[in-house]
Structure 1
């Protein structure tokens, strides 16, 4: 966690640099709502990350303590190198399974649901546990890799993957492309194009894809389309995490055969029982038919949303810096309130009619979260300050709504 927290300023700096390049080159690889949504989904994953990892990490620790075959010293550089390489190999297989088993895809699809490809996409991480992928990592515990080393390697692996989510870096030197995962490789992985689907699963070392026959080089003549065939069509981060699971439950319910009810969850994504497909057809997008989801926002609303997002980002950083003093119950409470806040925040992006009465509630949730996290750390009158800030935000919101309505009336 310390590695991830330390990396956050660099993530934000690189996103700012990429935004500058995007503006200078007029490439339009960023869309306001899509980028905010990716970051919101990433924030939601940070609030739920600790809780969803408790069981897998506890089982890893138990196997390491009771059944480890070797006593690998965690102060050895060779053990760290070995652990990093082995973790990346396990990540490759876990990632590949996430793409080939529908119930696992339900968790991983969140990362692929953006219809743009930029550095904010890297932070678009799932909040739901991958139900089977964590089993792939347990042999590492059996080998004797200390849980601290394992978690550090996982964090470093995740940090490395951040920079490959860009379209502003072309091909790297040939020797680097031959060994390491690069932006060129990972653009293929995120593509909806038929030849690119289910390719390039590796996190750090592309050699795994070449070894296990899942490698595909990026072709200069191919115009890549990003996203998934069953489009999310929402800025709601909660729905982004539930959509596939909900569709699986519906397909299992409608299937007449008990065998098909079971298979729905474990077949590859896209598979549906014949009777369900006939009675309840589902529309899938292709590279030729995909229309990017968007909700047009006036500038004044974009400014308000951006200001509110900065507050949510500040809350997230505060949470990450103070979470070690929270109990599991307090973590659950903060996670629940933060999740509700982000869901309500998405209503602003979609201009839902209910934001007029819900936004005051969301702002109070936001102030409450800041109070829970900050009250043990400050000695001044935090309550008065937060109440004052909330009132100012409410005035700004209703002024924004008034200007938005005026903008729509004249357009």
Structure 2
């Protein structure tokens, strides 16, 4: 009986993931419609917000096109490592699904944190943070290399023996949960829930430009990772969204490539190859600090 349940779970994993992919976007669109009604009632519905939201969904379309071409290679690489390098091959059961979700969420935390502290990775992730608004459409605001970096953080799960299809399913579950966090309609949830799980309140902090909120709350499902690793911040003062400098555009192509256009300009104008290397590997705040120091030095010379 246990063997039959394992076969059933293994057989149905692709269908479960396909159902999530096919149906959750429709659910998200319905929720987004309700958010627009809420904005209208609060008299906050503007053409900029609508245009920004449309741009968000267009960047999702760009990502889908890329995944269409690289998706099989992504899965094929997982299976190569699974068949040749994994330390074991775990059966697909309720327990391995639960364990896979927890470990996938931990992998997401470190991937997300890396995207904020590495200049090259930030070039794609900054797109997600560049919206001055915060609603469920922002969850679908993607950059050109958002498909690349997760591979390296979820690969350890494959090497531990988790079936690649199960890893992709767990990755999808984490992403779906994350989608629901992009809203201002939900304030704070009951304290026990806020203590363990990521919530809209916690994720608003993550998208903030307020100084005390910068680089906080990287979690996917469980906020306990941020509490454990010292990156947690509670939502207190009003959140201001976006990045510096602001894009001030709803052109989907300008938004989509904005991070790497900025990085390319920085690399071109860099004073040395060492400076260029630091732009690629250090946190984006490093470049800002260098620019401020250069401005102060120039002011003192005058």
Q: TM-score, normalised by structure 1?
A: 0.63
Partner of 2:75: 57
Q: CA deviation at 1:251?
A: 2.2
Q: CA deviation at 1:28?
A: 4.2
2:214 and 2:250 map into 1 onto residues whose CA distance is 24
1:175 and 1:246 map into 2 onto residues whose CA distance is 43
Counterpart pick for 2:200 among 160, 183, 188: 183
1:42 and 1:164 map into 2 onto residues whose CA distance is 17
1:206 and 1:199 map into 2 onto residues whose CA distance is 11
Counterpart pick for 1:268 among 273, 277, 283: 283
Counterpart pick for 1:38 among 56, 59, 63: 56
1:66 and 1:275 map into 2 onto residues whose CA distance is 46
Q: Superposition pairs for residues 102-121 of structure 1, below 5 Å?
A: 102-121=119-138
Counterpart pick for 1:15 among 9, 32, 35: 32
1:198 and 1:51 map into 2 onto residues whose CA distance is 32
On the 8 A contact 2:67/2:147 being kept in 1, the answer is no
Structure number with larger C-alpha Rg: 1
Partner of 1:251: 266
On the 8 A contact 2:116/2:122 being kept in 1, the answer is yes
1:181 and 1:273 map into 2 onto residues whose CA distance is 29
On the 8 A contact 1:232/1:240 being kept in 2, the answer is yes
Q: Please, which runs of 5 or more residues in structure 1 have no aligned partner?
A: 282-411
2:210 and 2:291 map into 1 onto residues whose CA distance is 26
Counterpart pick for 1:87 among 87, 104, 109: 104
Counterpart pick for 1:147 among 164, 172, 197: 164
1:56 and 1:185 map into 2 onto residues whose CA distance is 31
Partner of 1:231: 246
- 2:285 is paired with a residue of what secondary structure? coil
Q: TM-score, normalised by structure 2?
A: 0.84
Q: CA deviation at 1:122?
A: 1.4
Q: Please, which runs of 5 or more residues in structure 2 have no aligned partner?
A: 1-17, 297-302
Q: CA deviation at 1:111?
A: 1.0
Partner of 1:314: none
Partner of 1:375: none
Deviations 1:138-192 (A, max 9, x none): 1111101111111111111111112111111111111111111101000000011
Partner of 2:91: 73
Deviations 1:184-240 (A, max 9, x none): 000000011111110000011111000110000100xx1211101121222222222
Q: CA deviation at 1:278?
A: 8.2
Q: CA deviation at 1:55?
A: 4.3
2:191 and 2:274 map into 1 onto residues whose CA distance is 49
Partner of 2:179: 162
1:215 and 1:103 map into 2 onto residues whose CA distance is 24
- Say if 1:244 and 1:175 are closer, same or farther in 2 by CA, change over 3 A: same
- Say if 1:236 and 1:260 are closer, same or farther in 2 by CA, change over 3 A: same
1:212 and 1:130 map into 2 onto residues whose CA distance is 25
1:5 and 1:185 map into 2 onto residues whose CA distance is 28
Corresponding pairs, count: 278
Q: CA deviation at 1:2?
A: 3.5
On the 8 A contact 1:15/1:120 being kept in 2, the answer is yes
The reply to whether residue 204 of structure 1 matches residue 257 of structure 2 is no
